[in-house]
Amino acid sequence: MTTHDTAEQLWPPATYYQQIDQLRHAIGAPIFLTELRDTAINGSINYSGQPLILLSVIDYPQPNPYRQLCPHMLILDDGRGINMGRIVRISRNRAFGPAADDILFQNAELTANILQAPRTLSRQSIAATSRQLLSRMFGDEPGRLLQAAVDERAEHQTNTAPKRVTQSQTAAQPQTIAEPQPVDPSPRSS
């Protein structure tokens, strides 16, 4: 293993700390964020069209490269603290298409793999993504969940439905007529 290989395997990379120093010099200045928003269903990029004031750059106590949690956080004037692992780019002067001199921080991996990744949107890619997400939610076997719901409903209706009596059943059963009870015409006293 060479020194070059070791340097590439370090996390975060050496350029990260240089960019953190640039951010510390920008405390109190307006900045534009490009954030990674990751949910259980999808990931997206959020560009802040409005500038935010950078209040502080603080150490994050539990960095974890596997969860994209870097050793630093930003404190912003909107009340948020954001880990640097969730930041794609930070720029000054403009949010969209900033000049190279205006970029204070850029996560090279996220920029290459998400921000500048080729987009292929077709009926086939949408169908494949939809099938994958639906199978995660409802299981791999199509219709299994629906069939279980139909079976459960049928069982419930069978157990709670009123019993139907046919004519042959009524003929076989002796019919009894209740005798009328006499009504006392006198008023009741409480």
Q: If pLDDT is split at 50, 70 and 90, which confidence band does 174 have? A: low
pTM beyond 0.85: the answer is no
Whole-angstrom Cα distance, residue 38 to residue 49?
Answer: 19
Alpha helices by DSSP H, listed for the chain, are 3-9, 14-25, 108-110, 123-138, 144-160, 167-172
Q: Of 29 and 160, which is predicted with more confidence? A: 29
**Sign of torsion over alpha carbons 88, 93, 97, 101:** negative
Write out the DSSP string of 8-61: HHSSS-HHHHHHHHHHHHTTTSEEEEEEEEE-SS-EEEEE-SS-EEEEEEEE-S
What the block records as the tokens of 32 is 């534009």
CA distance 93 to 98: 8
Residue 104 has pLDDT above 70, yes or no: yes
What are 37's two structure tokens? 């928003």
Decide which of 189 and 11 is more confident. 11
Least confident of 50-54, 136-140, 179-183: 179-183
Report residue 42's pLDDT band, with 50, 70 and 90 as the boundaries.
low
pLDDT at residue 130 greater than cutoff 90: no
Q: Per-residue confidence at 172, pLDDT binned at 50, 70, 90?
A: low
How far is Cα of residue 116 from the mean position of the Cα atoms in its chain?
A: 22
% of the chain surpassing 70 pLDDT = 68
Overall average pLDDT of the 102-128 stretch: 75
Confidence class for position 162, pLDDT limits 50, 70, 90: low
Q: What is the pLDDT of residue 76?
A: 92
Q: With H, G, I as helix, E, B as strand and everything else as coil, classify residue 73.
A: strand
Average pLDDT over residues 7-24: 79
Structure confidence by residue, pLDDT tens digits, 109-121: 776 666 556 667 7
Q: Which residue has the tokens 């629906």?
A: 146
Q: Are 55 and 77 in contact (CB under 8 A)?
A: yes
